[in-house]
């Protein structure tokens, strides 16, 4: 088992940039989950959206949502929020597409660590979370979506995506349910 935290970066935590809705609350809820996973020594993976500052790696995603191009390596908005700051040994995945898996070595990293199940937190539920859950399942991992640790600017889209993902692609748990399950391991 491992924890995947998708795109909890400064820009998505800020309602004046990419945030809003329940994203900051989901980020806050993830702090407790992260500490529980760390205390058990579980593998932890964080993702960031990172585009080249010169625009040389723009793609359909960044053309559809042009402000994403501002999420460059050195941009403050692309840095993981301080309250979830990665520790040494945790995986940091830089991505340019919605899925944490597409075009990255995340699946190989998790497989190398013997992971078969992923707790998933992050944002946004209707975009990068949805894509990451589908790809996690497609790579043979059992996705467990932590409903109060994922957020979206649009709470209607958040709820609709939780419903669809829970019906077909992932198990749904709250943070407290996940921590209780972890404590029984």
> For residue 17, which of 83, 81, 70 has the smallest C-alpha distance?
70
Catalytic residue among 27, 37, 123, 128: 128
Task: For residue 157, give both structure tokens.
Answer: 């889209």
Q: Cα dihedral sign for 122, 123, 127, 128?
A: negative
Question: Is 128 in the active site?
Answer: yes
Q: How far, in Å, are 126, 133, 157, 172 from residue 164 at the CA level? A: 10, 11, 10, 11
Residues 72, 52 contacting (CB under 8 angstroms): yes
Surface-to-core class of residue 5, CB atoms within 10 Å of its CB (0-12 exposed, 13-18 middle, 19+ buried): buried
52 SS3 class: coil
For residue 4, the SS3 value is: strand
C-beta atoms surrounding 144 within 10 Å: 22
Active site residues: 128
């Amino acid at each position: 088992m491992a924890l995947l935290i998708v795109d909890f970066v400064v820009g998505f935590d800020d309602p004046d940039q990419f945030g809003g809705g329940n994203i900051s609350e989901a980020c806050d809820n993830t702090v407790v989950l992260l500490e529980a996973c760390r205390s058990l020594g579980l593998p932890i993976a964080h993702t960031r959206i990172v585009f080249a500052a010169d625009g040389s790696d723009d793609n359909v995603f960044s053309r559809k949502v042009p402000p994403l191009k501002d999420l460059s390596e050195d941009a403050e908005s692309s840095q993981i929020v301080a309250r979830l700051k990665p520790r040494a040994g945790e995986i940091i995945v830089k991505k340019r597409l919605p899925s944490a898996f597409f075009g990255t070595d995340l699946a190989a990293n998790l497989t190398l660590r013997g992971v078969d199940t992923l707790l998933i937190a992050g944002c946004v539920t209707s975009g990068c979370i949805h894509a990451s859950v589908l790809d996690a399942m497609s790579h043979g991992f059992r996705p467990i979506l932590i409903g109060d640790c994922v957020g979206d600017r649009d709470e209607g889209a958040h709820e609709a995506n939780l419903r669809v993902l829970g019906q077909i692609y992932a198990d749904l748990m709250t943070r407290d349910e996940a921590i209780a399950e972890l404590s029984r391991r």
